[in-house]
Amino acid sequence: MSAVSRLRLNAFAMNCVSHIHHGQWVRPDTRQLEYASLDPWVELARLLERGRFDALFLADVVGTYDSFRGSRDTAVVEGLQIPVNDPSLLIPALAYATTDLGFAFTQSILQEQPFNFARRLSTLDHISGGRVGWNVVTSYLETAGRNLGFGGLPPHDERYERADEYLEVVYKLLEGSWEDDAVLRDVERRVYADPAKVHEIDHVGRYYDVVGPHLSEPSPQRTPVLFQAGSSERGRAFAARHAEAIFIAGRNPAGARAQIEDVRARAAQIGRDPGDILFYQGLSAIVGGTEEEARRKAAEIDAYASEDGYGAHMAGNLGIDLSALDFDAPIGELQTNGSQGLLQGLIEAAPDKTWRFGDLMRFVVDLRVVGTPEQVADQLQTWVDAGVNGLNLMYHTTPGSFADFVDGVVPVLQERGLVQREYAPGTLREKLRGDGAGARLNERHPAAGHRRARAAAVAR
């Protein structure tokens, strides 16, 4: 099994009641109602580690879904990403309870100043022994912008400009402020760090002025593994430049392939290796011992599914009140300041098809594979054949959906040599890459340009 071709496994979750598949929280066989306690998270992390998952991927929003029917009421009733607690604060306890599982969490660049946030990243990377990833997002909810003091959500492309500078500041702090040999811990000479090797960053930009130095000493990965999910035009350019892993929601393998090839080409154009970026397809799996059992489980899930929940979620993504629209009407040319990439993804999946609003509502419901472990493995293979490097596994019930996958599908995938049997040593980046290139970002990544000559030399 080559390192590049293996399928990486992320569990996709959120510090809230109802993440992607709405209406399921009422079931007796899910622990979604316990999201605010540590215990179910610790047990989930241990389950994932037993299944040799690469990481737990924690989504986040800092606003409410209030486009549907012109209010947030549907979201509130459904527990749809509201209430929503902070994702990063789960990681310390989960890192304590595991040894190899990675943790990627989402934080919007609108949420706080890069100076503070860089220290949070370093802290998490230190205490997890280098097992942290950051999902860089720019927010798509209008209410996030309003509540964070921006008056409203900044325009789509401006959010990415701000994000570019935000990352530049983070890179300067994480990669350029402390040289590799700055920390001496010299007990005899009474010198903890050599001040000549700790540098101010003196960043002066359009959005941020940051003097430095970074407050944390270098952590195992320095910059955590960078995840991104933007699939709009501007988002793809951003991802091609910065991302090491991209979360995609291809409507089918052909759609995934189109997006993957497009972003890889963009990365190559700006001097990165197309293989520097791993692509994770978002999918749900409904697994049964027999095909009949799997179909019965799927029917049960469909019976619990909340149409309002899915509608409110998609409406919030787009910032458009879908409830007011005719589901049979073609989508056509839709303008949104929200998540533009969703629409582009549909078009790529079937360029000649007339997509309708009903398709949008069902978009995420249909991102699923159903069957016996062997059948699920067969379907996953078609995604791998389309160039997908990883799976972002969305749950219907938790930990049930993950347990079914760990106990049923993972052994089959292992048998087929598609997923890992044991963790590789080292940090999350080393585990994911498997290319022996070390714990730090490679030299083709734009962050490397912010290293001091000396620091870069040691990292090489």
Partner 1 sequence: MSRQILVNAFDMNTPTHLVSGTWRDPSSRAADYKTLRYWTELAQLLERGLFDGLFIADVLGVYDVYGGTPDAALRGAVQVPVNDPLLLVPAMAHVTEHLGFGVTVSTGFEHPYPFARRISTLDHLTEGRIGWNIVTGYLNSGARNIGLDAQVAHDTRYDHADEYLDVLYKLWEASWEDDAVVRDVDRGVYVDPAKVHPIEHEGRWFRVPGIHLSEPSPQRTPLLYQAGASRRGKEFAAAHAEAVFLGAPTNAILEAQVAGLRAQAVAAGRDAYDIKVFSGYTVIVAETEREARAKHERYRALVDPEGALTLWSGWLGFDLSPYDLDDPLELVPNDAIQSTAETYGGGDWRVGDLVDRLSFGAGGPVAVGTPAQVADQIQAWLADSDADGLNLSHVVTPASYADFAELVVPELQRRGVYKTAYEPGTLRGKLFGRGPRLPATHRGASFRRSGVGAAA
Residues 161-220 that bind partner 1 (CB under 8 A): 183, 185, 187, 190-195, 198, 208-213, 215-217, 219
Where in 49-78 is the site for partner 1 (CB under 8 A)?
Answer: 62-64, 71-73, 76-78
Q: Which stretch binds partner 1 (CB under 8 A): 25-33, 245-253, 329-337, 383-391?
A: 25-33
Best CA proximity match to 299, nearest among 282, 313, 286, 314? 286
Where in 252-311 is the site for partner 1 (CB under 8 A)?
Answer: 306
Candidate list 112, 273, 307, 415; residue touching partner 1; CB under 8 A? 112
Residue by residue, what is the 3-state secondary structure of 345-362?
A: HHHHHCCCCCCEHHHHHH
**Cβ at position 77, least distance to partner 1 in Å:** 5
Distance CA 42, CA 198 (A): 37
Q: Which stretch binds partner 1 (CB under 8 A): 36-44, 239-247, 375-383, 387-395?
A: 36-44
Q: Between residues 250 and 338, which has the closer beta carbon with respect to partner 1?
A: 338
Where in 130-159 is the site for partner 1 (CB under 8 A)?
Answer: 143, 146-149, 151
Q: Between residues 38 and 270, which has the closer beta carbon with respect to partner 1?
A: 38
Candidate list 15, 135, 372, 420; residue touching partner 1; CB under 8 A? 15
Strand partners, 392: 10, 282
**Cβ at position 142, least distance to partner 1 in Å:** 10
Candidate list 42, 334, 350, 365; residue touching partner 1; CB under 8 A? 42
Best CA proximity match to 306, nearest among 364, 357, 367, 371? 364
**Cβ at position 169, least distance to partner 1 in Å:** 10
CA dihedral 42, 43, 49, 53 (to 10 degrees): -90
Where in 216-245 is the site for partner 1 (CB under 8 A)?
Answer: 216-217, 219
The 8-class DSSP code of residue 249 comes to: -
Q: Between residues 187 and 453, which has the closer beta carbon with respect to partner 1?
A: 187
Q: Between residues 149 and 436, which has the closer beta carbon with respect to partner 1?
A: 149
In the numeric block, the tokens 């963009």 are attached to 266
Q: Which stretch binds partner 1 (CB under 8 A): 44-52, 95-103, 228-236, 398-406?
A: 95-103
Distance CA 214, CA 132 (A): 18
Say whether residue 106 binds partner 1 (CB under 8 A).
no
Q: Between residues 93 and 347, which has the closer beta carbon with respect to partner 1?
A: 93
CA 293 to chain centre: 31
**Cβ at position 434, least distance to partner 1 in Å:** 26
Q: Residues 55, 404, 300, CA angle at the centre, nearest 5°?
A: 120
Candidate list 11, 44, 90, 167; residue touching partner 1; CB under 8 A? 90
The 8-class DSSP code of residue 442 comes to: P
CB 43 within 8 A of CB 93: no
Residues 6 or more apart in contact with residue 162 via CB below 8 angstroms: 109, 110, 138, 154, 207
Dihedral sign computed on CA atoms, order 254, 260, 262, 268: negative
Q: Between residues 120 and 416, which has the closer beta carbon with respect to partner 1?
A: 120
Best CA proximity match to 166, nearest among 226, 85, 221? 226
CA dihedral 178, 184, 185, 190 (to 10 degrees): -110
Q: Which stretch binds partner 1 (CB under 8 A): 35-43, 51-59, 365-373, 426-434?
A: 35-43
**Cβ at position 403, least distance to partner 1 in Å:** 21
Q: Between residues 213 and 387, which has the closer beta carbon with respect to partner 1?
A: 213
Q: Residues 358, 362, 364, CA angle at the centre, nearest 5°?
A: 145
Candidate list 127, 331, 347, 350; residue touching partner 1; CB under 8 A? 127
**Cβ at position 412, least distance to partner 1 in Å:** 34
Q: Between residues 199 and 433, which has the closer beta carbon with respect to partner 1?
A: 199
Q: CB neighbours (10 Å) of residue 149?
A: 7
Q: Which stretch binds partner 1 (CB under 8 A): 10-18, 158-166, 243-251, 358-366?
A: 10-18
**Cβ at position 228, least distance to partner 1 in Å:** 20
Say whether residue 439 binds partner 1 (CB under 8 A).
no
CA dihedral 317, 384, 419, 378 (to 10 degrees): 100
Say whether residue 97 binds partner 1 (CB under 8 A).
yes
Q: Residues 12, 414, 258, CA angle at the centre, nearest 5°?
A: 55
Strand partners, 107: 136
